[in-house]
Amino acid sequence: MAYSDKVIDHYENPRNVGKLDADSENVGTGMVGAPACGDVMRLQIQVDDNGVIEDAKFKTYGCGSAIASSSLVTEMVKGKTLEEAAAIKNMEIVEELALPPVKIHCSVLAEDAIAAAIEDIKAKREKKAESAA
Amino acid sequence: MAKLNIPVYLDYSATTPVDERVAKAMADCLTLQGNFGNPASRSHVFGWKAEDAVTEARANVARLIGADPKEIVWTSGATESDNLAIKGAAHFNAKKGKHIITLKTEHKAVLDTCRQLEREGFEVTYLDPEDNGLVDITKLADAIREDTTLVSIMHVNNEIGVIQDIEAIGALTRSKKILFHVDAAQSPGKVAIDVDAMNIDLLSLCAHKVYGPKGIGALYVRRKPRVRIEAQIHGGGHERGMRSGTLPTHQIVGMGESFRIAHEEMETENAKIEKLRDRLWEGLKDMEEVYLNGDFEQRIPGNLNISFNFVEGESLMMSLKDIAVSSGSACTSDSLEPSYVLRALGRNDELAHSSLRFTLGRFSTEEEVDFTIKEVRKAVEKLRDLSPLWDMFKDGVDLDTVQWAAH
Ligand SMILES: Cc1ncc(COP(=O)(O)O)c(C=O)c1O
Ligand code: FES
């Protein structure tokens, strides 16, 4: 299969690879997929007090398109509010990376990873608000 | 020092380049100046000459497997040979019984043919191999029933290169008077075949894994005791009625020449290839979490099938853009299922997703092997740095205890 130039670029120079402290109260972690399915994505976001994503990191086990999708997503979410980030749809990733139909599920995984990371940080904040109240 | 040809071809089990000597022999059978006649033309010298060439090729193929030339039926390749052998034998013996035994790690040409027979009312037992890929003969013996008419077990597995004990299986099937078909597409030139010593009744071959052309193969059909099969392709009654169609002289000559060369050079060639394969394995095996798939001893010289744990196979191949290999990863298949062969060995899905098959051959060089070692190590390291599973493994997390959000 031939890869698009954008997939190759993200694959060869992945942006924002790494790990944030999952225990920090400003960090939301989303881990989706399963090793048995051949893809696992971990997306982490660091959110400031105004609910703006100031940093994002990923690590992905999966095909080149999955790696490129998660790399792209870390770039997309930075600077966005949680609400804006939650509105990102997988088709934006598909279009940006010119993914073929068999690779659409890789972009869905990236969308799921954002949602999971947002859910995690929201849950943390609610818990904190409850214990403060 | 041989020069490094990029991209490096390490996918000899998928197909091989045609040997120059074979190409030359084939080219001599095409044009007006060459041997272009129809081997079935009995009335003139063009036909006779073509028939002579076919006869010589038949003898070369027969010699490599210890058969009589009359027992060779030309086909379009191993897929057709498998179809002809299995459907032909099953149909011919349908009155005696409708049970067939085969192996879960067979090539699709065998498995899908068996599936078709199931749709027609036959029953098929798909045996599980042991974890090393080999058949446990007692399990095979236990699977045999009153109504079993055919056992089909491959000689050399195309993915993991393991060699089944065909002689032991043949002794069993012969003693039970059950027909024995062997898919030997991957064997010629790599491991010895003797249809008599091994008690084989039907044997599938093709040319394109032995430096011959694609689109030509053969089925060995035993004459003593006579094995009868139903034809699948009907027409002019060529090949003793078992496979009609004008014989493609140039293809047949190519197959014959490739088998002749295999017969003559097999020993020296295998020694060379095995050394290179071992060099490749030595260069990779000290990495962490690297697993060899399939038995190391009962294995053809040119095959190495390795799982690089925590790295996904397709992304690994993407990193190895200058090296042609194949992967058991789901992401490289249309079905999105990882290799059924590795799963049948009891490898978990992760390891199946993480596998690469390297197959070396006649034109492989030490330079290519050293280049491959360097590139693979670099790629695995890079991808592990990107892998959340590697992180977790390094943090001491047992991945089997994690609740995965499967999708
Ligand atoms: C074990 C085995 N059987 C059958 C085949 C099919 O052979 P062919 O390509 O000649 O149809 C192959 C090769 O792909 C093979 O490796
Ligand atoms: S992760 Fe399997 S196809 Fe992308």
**pLDDT tens digits along B174-185:** 999 999 999 999
Q: Name every protein residue with a CB atom under 6 angstroms from any ligand 1 atom.
A: B 77-79, 107, 109, 154, 158, 183, 185-186, 206, 208, 217
For chain B, helix, strand, coil in percent to 5 are 40, 15, 45
Provide the sign of the torsion angle of the four alpha carbons B325, B158, B250, B230, taken in this order. negative
- Which residue is listed with tokens 């001599």? B28
In this structure, are residues B351 and A23 in contact, taking their beta carbons and an 8 Å threshold?
Answer: no
What is the pLDDT averaged over residues A51-59? 96
Instruction: Note the pLDDT of residue B288.
Output: 96
Q: Is the pLDDT of residue B161 over 60?
A: yes
Summarised one tens digit per residue, pLDDT across range B217-258 is 999 999 999 999 999 999 999 999 999 999 999 999 999 999
Q: If we measure between CA atoms, which residue out of A86, A35, A29, A84 comes closest to residue A58?
A: A29
- Ligand 1 atom at shortest distance from the alpha carbon of B82: 4
Q: Return the closest-CA partner of residue B405 out of A30, A72, A73.
A: A30
Q: Which chain A residue's Cα is nearest to B388?
A: A59
Query: Is A36 within 8 Å of B404 when comparing Cβ atoms?
Result: yes
Q: In what order do the strands lie in the sheet with A53-61?
A: A27-34, A39-47, A53-61
Compute CA distances B80 → A22, A40, B83, B108, B232, whole Å.
Answer: 57, 40, 5, 12, 9
Per-residue pLDDT band at B293 (split at 50, 70, 90): very high
Q: Cα–Cα distance between B168 and B166 in angstroms, integer?
A: 5
DSSP conformation letters of B80-147 = HHHHHHHHHHHHHTTTT--EEEEETTS-HHHHHHHHHHHHTT-EEEEEPP-TTS---HHHHHHH--TT
Residue B378 reports pLDDT greater than 90: yes
Looking at residue B327, what is its pLDDT?
86
- Report the pLDDT averaged over residues B91-110: 97
Ligand 2 pocket by Cβ (under 6 Å): A 38-39, 62-63, 65-66, 103, 106; B 331
Q: What is the pLDDT of residue A132?
A: 79
Q: Determine which residue's CA is closest to atom 2 belonging to ligand 2.
A: B331
The set of residues, in sequence order, having a beta carbon less than 8 Å from that of B35 and lying 6+ positions away, is: B28, B29, B49, B50, B53, B249, B253
Determine, for residues A108 and B312 on separate chains, whether the beta-carbon distance falls below 8 Å. Answer: no
B114 belongs to the catalytic site: no
Percent of chain B at pLDDT above 70? 97
Does residue B64 register a pLDDT over 90? yes
* Element of type H or E holding B323: strand B323-324
Looking at residue A63, its amino acid is: C
Report chain B residues whose CB lies below 8 A from the CB of A59. Answer: 386-388, 391
Mutate to test the pocket of ligand 2, among A32, A40, A58, A65 (most ligand atoms within 8 A of CB): A65
DSSP H or E segment with residue A85:
helix A82-86
Report how far residue A12's alpha carbon sits from residue A10's, in angstroms, rounded to the nearest whole number: 6
Q: List phi, psi (to 5°) of B152.
A: -125, 110
Mean pLDDT over B387-392 rounds to 94
In the reported structure, the alpha carbon of residue B331 is separated from the centroid of ligand 2 by a whole-number distance in angstroms of 5
User: According to the model, what pLDDT value does residue B406 have?
Assistant: 58
Active site residues of A: 37, 106
The pLDDT of residue B145 is above 90? yes
Q: What is the pLDDT of residue B404?
A: 81
Closest CA to A62 of A126, A117, A119, A112: A112
Calculate mean pLDDT across residues A21-50.
93
Ligand 1 test: best mutation among B11, B84, B108, B183, most atoms within 8 Å of CB?
A: B183
User: Could you say which ligand is closest to the alpha carbon of residue B318?
Assistant: 2
Residues of chain A whose beta carbon is less than 8 angstroms from a beta carbon of chain B are: 1, 3, 11, 14, 17, 19, 31-42, 59-64, 66-67, 102, 105, 108-109, 112, 116
